[in-house]
Structure 1
Amino acid sequence: MRQRYFILLSLFASVPAMALTFQTRLENVEWKVEGDKFECRLIQPITDFGAGVFVRRAGEQAVFRLNASNSVLGEGSATLLAAAAPWQPGRGDIDLGTVRIGRGNVLFNSSQAQAGRLFRGLLEGRSPLIRHYSATGGLSEVRLLPVKFRQAYGEYEACTTKLLAKNFDQVRQSQIGFPGSGNELDAKGRADLQIMLEYMKADPTVNHVMLDGYSDNSGNRLTNRELSRRRALAVMNYLQENGLQESQITMRFHGEQYPLVPNTSVANRAKNRRVSVRLERMPEPPKPPPAVGITNPATLS
């Protein structure tokens, strides 16, 4: 009798506590695709919770994000799984590691590697599953379902083909190199500037460019200062030839001052021959007030 009691006790101890589970009913599952040139999103709303969202910014791979409309999950660590479906016997869940649950509307952003494995899992019929234990031991689970995923994934992939080459964080500052001793732009420099110009065309709020020209220390200071001016001017001319107005560009030049690296080798000196290009958002100038008074004397009677 005593042995039977211990057997029953061990069985009950192995059964996990009842989980509080959030998922949308099968017949109500939907995937939505949203996006523009800057970002693409693949979203599954989760009933009474929020949404699971794959987000891919221009110039980056996707991450998976859990949005919440309530604070049912406390802060702390959670496990991210690509869970096998009940109708897939013999397939176990894939543990993708931990994520850190925070405060606010966005509870966490996964790594790019985790998001990639979730994509592969969904295409295989698996469910993204977030498993979280509270400080008191309570278990909460948030699950997305793979229903209707494949078609939505195709739409999402089509969106990503229209993304810009880089996002603002990546494009906001660039070093245009001058590997030789002159001041002519090479193919790489022109290509880097084209990426910045494409971004400015797509985002009218980015409307100003700051140029800073530099040289190495090979010549005398006056010669180096003039070279740094000519390099900055070469970049400025290229930007103007491609649609920017002179009023949108501020140009400075510094000669051999402020080297990126010590001028102690041929390779280092080549790195210091450069123009730093920085994109900025400048406020629009205030519009003049409307004219007051009579502007057309011919209307006088």
Structure 2
Amino acid sequence: MVKFGTPLERAGWKFDGDKFQCRLIHEVDNFGRFVLRRHAGHPLSLALEADWLPGQGIDAEFSLQKPGWQPSSPDVAHHYSAHWQQSQARLVGAGEPFLQALELGWNWQVDLGDQLGQQWRVSSANVQGQSAALEMRQCLNQLLPMSYEQVRRLEIRYSSGGVEPAFGAADNIHAAAAYVQADARINKVLVDGHTDSDGDSLSNLVLSRTRADEIAARLVAAGVPAAKIEIRGHGERFPLVSNGSAAGRAKNRRVTIRLVMAGDDQAPSQEAAPDMSSTLPKILNAQESGE
């Protein structure tokens, strides 16, 4: 077995982070590096990276080990298995035990093996790891709840005829507001209200605007500048699915929140195209179209 590790005199941990990402890096001499990382809206992950190993056919076993200077004798506390892919072995959603181990002064270890019987052992060195772990923990506590990809378009649902959003809407509103405040590149927030086809067209138009106005007010209360918000009500126009079933009507009763980033090429949207016929009662629409 070939062993890799960084001598204590050169060992160190590099932290960098903001509201969008937190990252902790430990370089391993002649091998690669450990990277503990979390992006906004995603779980904490741990990766062992190296660009000189083959791209596949290697199994990896991550473990946590107590150092010899602690009161109890060293032993392997936990095992986590992964496969080597694209120059790394990665654990998704299992990073928390490794951060806790770093806070306790423990070490990380990965045992690698391929189908030909070659084996490698890669170990970390917990030199100033506890202070780096503290920085990482502080960063994680202020991370945004969602990434841009997750928050750029959100949908809020409603009961039939209701103006009070369904359970869970507050989390989406908070996530959208937090992202707008954190990223200066967001220059517009589009709030579009929709209904199902129950009732007459004019009432639905008013209801959709009422829903959109209420969500916009909540965004402003959460810190979104009112000048960035555009509000529209579309009534029963632009259904997502057919209104022929209860399930379809439930999907069509919605308010969408869309974040627009400066420089984005925003294609014309059906939601943005006004149509005065939507303000007419259904009976008049039918007459005008010859139905």
- If the length of structure 2 is used for normalisation, what is the TM-score? 0.72
**Contact kept in structure 1, 2:104 and 2:130, CA below 8 Å:** no
**Contact kept in structure 2, 1:42 and 1:53, CA below 8 Å:** yes
Of 97, 100, 104, the match for 2:80: 97
**Contact kept in structure 1, 2:43 and 2:92, CA below 8 Å:** no
1:183-222 matched pairs, under 5 angstroms: 183=163, 189=169, 192-222=172-202
Task: State the Cα distance separating 1:97 from its structure 2 match.
Answer: 2.5
Cα 1:173–1:186 shift into 2, 3 Å: same
Distance 2:243 2:154 in 1: 16
Distance 2:156 2:230 in 1: 16
SS at match of 1:193: helix
For structure 2, list consecutive stretches of 5 or more residues without a partner in the other structure. Answer: 266-291
Distance 2:43 2:212 in 1: 33
Task: State the Cα distance separating 1:137 from its structure 2 match.
Answer: 1.3
Distance 2:174 2:102 in 1: 37
Of 103, 108, 113, the match for 2:89: 108
Mean CA deviation greater in 181-190 or 276-285: 181-190
Of 98, 102, 111, the match for 1:118: 98
Q: Is 2:256 the counterpart of 1:276?
A: yes
SS at match of 2:203: helix
Q: 1:222-267 CA deviation, whole Å, 9 max, x = no partner?
A: 4324422442344456657841436x647462517225997538xx
Task: State the Cα distance separating 1:178 from its structure 2 match.
Answer: 4.1
1:51-130 matched pairs, under 5 angstroms: 51-68=33-50, 70-72=51-53, 74-76=55-57, 77-85=59-67, 90-104=73-87, 107-112=88-93, 114-130=94-110
**Contact kept in structure 2, 1:65 and 1:109, CA below 8 Å:** yes
Cα 1:148–1:186 shift into 2, 3 Å: same
Cα 1:39–1:260 shift into 2, 3 Å: farther
1:44 counterpart residue number: 26
Distance 1:61 1:258 in 2: 31
SS at match of 2:180: helix
SS at match of 1:224: helix
Aligned residues: 260
1:108-187 matched pairs, under 5 angstroms: 108-112=89-93, 114-179=94-159, 181-183=161-163
**Contact kept in structure 2, 1:39 and 1:163, CA below 8 Å:** yes
SS at match of 1:157: helix
**Contact kept in structure 2, 1:66 and 1:108, CA below 8 Å:** yes
Cα 1:117–1:209 shift into 2, 3 Å: same
SS at match of 2:9: helix
Q: 1:126-152 CA deviation, whole Å, 9 max, x = no partner?
A: 322121112321111221122322222
- Larger-Rg structure: 1
1:299 counterpart residue number: none
Distance 2:75 2:208 in 1: 62
**Contact kept in structure 2, 1:175 and 1:274, CA below 8 Å:** yes
Task: State the Cα distance separating 1:282 from its structure 2 match.
Answer: 4.3
Distance 1:187 1:98 in 2: 38
Q: Is 2:230 the counterpart of 1:253?
A: no
Distance 2:182 2:162 in 1: 32
Q: Structure 2: which amino acid aligns with 1:196?
A: A
Mean CA deviation greater in 139-148 or 91-100: 91-100
**Contact kept in structure 2, 1:217 and 1:263, CA below 8 Å:** no
SS at match of 1:37: coil
Task: State the Cα distance separating 1:188 from its structure 2 match.
Answer: 6.8
Query: What fraction of aligned residue pairs are identical, expressed as a percent?
Result: 27
SS at match of 1:219: coil
Q: Structure 1: which amino acid aligns with 2:136?
A: Y
Distance 1:98 1:135 in 2: 16
